[in-house]
């Protein structure tokens, strides 16, 4: 893996792609990366643990890019592993810098000093959210109404239990877009779908939506795809072929009823 | 007035004072300034209009600083007139760059290009909110729970009608702190008090609270003081003597019931 280095201010900036897209959707991938850069390094994890779903959402970045191509969407993704800082969690949430994830202890997070918590927040969390906020505020200033969709993947087996759901749509305060996506996906995707599955906002997984979409009254949704269904580049493209029409249909339905 | 100039990136950064305060409160003053810097200049307004309440909240900055001294609070305030960009409004709200304010047309805002709307958002709105977000996230990362209180003043005569209320407390989603402040002020301030007066969240005046406090579940309130009661430095100090104990009592009450 190429070494990831911070900018001159010590920040790990997110990556924005397709900045001048004409579509309404901004796709967000907080768990795109399993990079473990200095000064934190691998947190004492094995190579296998660094490749596992605890470190990132395998397939989510590729799926997001494939969706962006089909929807002409702007994308933003984090460049550092969620185990160093999970950008979909507020700095006071246990999951922001977790000492344990599913079955795995995270040695480098067992004893984090307050200084290190503040440093990770400044280096990773704030640049990510400032960049996303800038994208959204600029669109709004130009008279556009961006739609915020976060893209995640989940492990097929969690705490030893298989998960039957293949595609979950999760809402924060406003369920309109998630319900419309779910209706389209149930009608046409052929996937086993669930609303607020395998997680819901009660599990603190909608932080990005809560921070950026809800205050501006923007339509928003969180997508969760079972990662065994997007395990190769070809599978990511095939999944985008199934899901992009569902998102497009949902946005059309929302425009017509809104 | 000293000429106000942007930083090397063209941004008008807010001012943060008492950064390392030990108190829980972060005081925010979006309407602290009636500066009309280039490239926008005075927007075609007379000197009297630039001094009037349409351009800023007279007395609010001085009152905020006097409250900060008594509560050991950190403060943040905008440095540009609300008529160039009102930092308590989202970029798509009419009040963000208003073409009219109360009885006054704002010639320089009559025909704003989309490029200028985006430029003002980038130069004034985003730096203000990024700085406030940074303050809040850092406190949260350190295990503290900041309390967000915005400080405003209002004109005693609006559209020709006198206003009887002297001190208003306004809430966004969570009314707990505003109700506690109101109870304390009614008991001990001697002021004519009102909840959600002279404005309420329905008038889009709680943007800062909605963007920064509500997503993190932080206690928050908006204070409105009639500006004839804080028209001199001595009056600002006297008002702080009346209101600081009310805020302190409300925070204590909230801690005991929370």
- With a cut of 70, say whether residue B222 has pLDDT above it: yes
Residue A5 lies in a domain: no
Residue B243 lies in a domain: yes
- Which residues, other chains included, contact B241 with Cβ-Cβ below 8 Å and sequence gap of 6+? B70
Residue B233, preceding peptide bond in cis (omega within 30° of 0): no
CATH number at residue A187: 3.40.630.40
Residue A71 lies in a domain: yes
Residues of A in contact with B145 (CB under 8 A): 92
Q: Tell me what the mean pLDDT of segment B160-184 comes to.
A: 95
Contact status of B202 with chain A (Cβ, < 8 Å): no
Model pLDDT, residue A146: 98
ipTM above 0.85, yes or no: yes
Residue A3 lies in a domain: no
Bridge partners for A167 per DSSP = A193, A225
Contact status of A202 with chain B (Cβ, < 8 Å): no
For chain A, what is the domain count?
1
Q: Tell me what the mean pLDDT of segment A56-62 comes to.
A: 98
* Higher pLDDT pick, A203 / B85: B85
Residues of B in contact with A114 (CB under 8 A): 141-143
- With a cut of 60, say whether residue A1 has pLDDT above it: no
Helix, strand counts (H, E) of chain B: 7, 11
| Sign of the C-alpha dihedral computed for residues A73, A79, A81 and A84 taken in this order | negative
| Sign of the C-alpha dihedral computed for residues B43, B49, B53 and B58 taken in this order | positive
DSSP structure class, residue A226: E
Model pLDDT, residue B2: 57
Residue percentage of chain B with pLDDT more than 90: 90
Residue B202 Cα, gap to closest chain A Cα (Å):
13
Residues of A in contact with B126 (CB under 8 A): 130, 133-134, 137
Query: pLDDT of A76-95, one tens digit each?
Result: 999 999 999 999 999 999 99
Q: Tell me what the mean pLDDT of segment A72-77 comes to.
A: 98
Model pLDDT, residue B258: 58
Model pLDDT, residue A101: 87
- With a cut of 80, say whether residue A184 has pLDDT above it: yes
Structural domain including B186 reads 15-257
Residue B1 lies in a domain: no
Residue B40 lies in a domain: yes
Query: pLDDT of B12-34, one tens digit each?
Result: 999 999 999 999 999 999 999 99
Model pLDDT, residue A48: 96
Model pLDDT, residue B203: 83
Model pLDDT, residue A258: 58
**Minimum mean pLDDT among A32-41, A197-206, B62-71, B139-148: which range?**
A197-206
Minimum-distance CB partner of A141 among B117, B134, B137? B117
Residue A191 lies in a domain: yes
Helix, strand counts (H, E) of chain A: 7, 11
Residue B97 lies in a domain: yes
């Amino acid at each position: 893996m190429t070494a990831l280095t911070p900018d001159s201010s010590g920040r790990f900036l997110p990556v924005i792609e397709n900045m001048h897209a004409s579509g309404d959707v901004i796709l967000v991938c907080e768990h795109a990366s399993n990079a473990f850069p200095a000064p934190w390094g691998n947190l004492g994890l094995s190579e296998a643990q660094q490749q596992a779903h605890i470190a990132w959402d395998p397939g989510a970045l590729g799926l997001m890019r494939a969706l962006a191509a089909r929807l002409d969407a702007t994308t933003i993704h984090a460049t550092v592993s969620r185990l160093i800082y999970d950008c979909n969690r507020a700095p006071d949430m246990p999951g922001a810098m977790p000492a344990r994830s599913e079955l795995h202890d995270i040695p480098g997070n067992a004893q984090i000093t307050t200084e290190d918590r503040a440093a990770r927040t400044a280096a990773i969390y704030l640049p990510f959210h400032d960049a996303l906020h800038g994208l959204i505020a600029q669109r709004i200033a130009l008279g556009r109404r961006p739609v915020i969709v976060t893209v995640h993947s989940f492990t097929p087996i969690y705490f030893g239990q298989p998960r039957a759901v293949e595609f979950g749509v999760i809402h924060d305060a406003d369920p309109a877009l998630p319900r419309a996506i779910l209706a389209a996906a149930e009608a046409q995707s052929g996937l086993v779908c669930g609303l607020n599955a395998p997680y819901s906002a009660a599990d603190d997984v909608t932080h990005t939506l809560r921070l950026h979409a809800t205050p501006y009254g923007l339509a928003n949704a969180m997508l969760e795809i079972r990662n065994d269904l997007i395990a190769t580049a070809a599978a990511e493209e095939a999944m985008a072929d199934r899901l992009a029409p569902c998102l497009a249909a949902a946005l059309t339905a929302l425009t017509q009823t809104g």
